[in-house]
Amino acid sequence: MMTLVTGGAKCGKSHYAERLLENFAGKKYYIATMEPYGEEAMAAIVRHRKLRAGKGFETVERYMDIDGLVAPEEFRLPRGCGILLECTANLCANEMFKDGRICDPTEKILRGFGRLKDISAELVIVTNEVGSDGISYEKGTAEYIRVLGTVNRLTAQMADRVVECVYGIPVVRK
C-alpha cells in the first residue's frame, strides 16, 4: 500500500504520516531527505527526530538517489518493511539543484518511489503543496515549483491513497 500525504506548511502532514505506520508490526524506516543547511533546517530536523522518538523508526538520511536504497551494492531496505519518506519537496530540490546546475529529476525520483513501493509492505510519502499561492517567482524557483508539481501529480497516480492535510484534518482525495 502506497500513501501520498500532501498539504501546506505546518498542516499536520508529518504527524499524520507517522500515525499511518504506528501499528506496523515489521521493521520501519524513516527516510529523511532534508539536508542540514543552516539553523532553520537543523531546528526542523531536531524537531522531527523528537516527534518520532520511541516510535520504532530506524532513520536513514538520504538526500538524493532514493533508488539506491534498494540497490544490492548499497544499504538495502528489507522486503516487506514499512517506509516513511519525508519529504518529496526536499528530495526534488536536492536532485534538481545539485552541483550548481538545474536538471529535471522527475524520472529519477519516480523510479526510486516505484522501487520503494515494490519492496515495502507499507510506503508513506510526504510532500508539500507549494504551487498554489499564485505568486510569480524567479526562473529557478518557478521551474522547481513546476517540476515538484509534476512529481506530485505522477506520484499521486502511482499511489493507492492520497491524503491532503488541511489545518490538521486529513482529507482523503484518492
- Determine how β-strand 57-61 pairs with β-strand 28-32: parallel
Render pLDDT for 89-112 as a digit per residue (tens, 0 to 9).
999 999 999 888 889 999 999 999
Q: Are 6 and 164 in contact (CB under 8 A)?
A: yes
- C-alpha–C-alpha distance, residues 168 and 130, integer Å: 17
Low-confidence spans in the chain with pLDDT less than 70: 71-75, 134
- C-alpha–C-alpha distance, residues 16 and 129, integer Å: 16
CATH numeric code, 2-172: 3.40.50.300
Domain borders along the chain are: 2-172
Of the listed 48, 52, 62, 108, which one is catalytic?
Answer: 48
The reported pLDDT for the residue numbered 71 is: 63
The reported pLDDT for the residue numbered 101 is: 83
- C-alpha–C-alpha distance, residues 81 and 70, integer Å: 12
Q: Is 15 one of the annotated active-site residues of the chain?
A: no
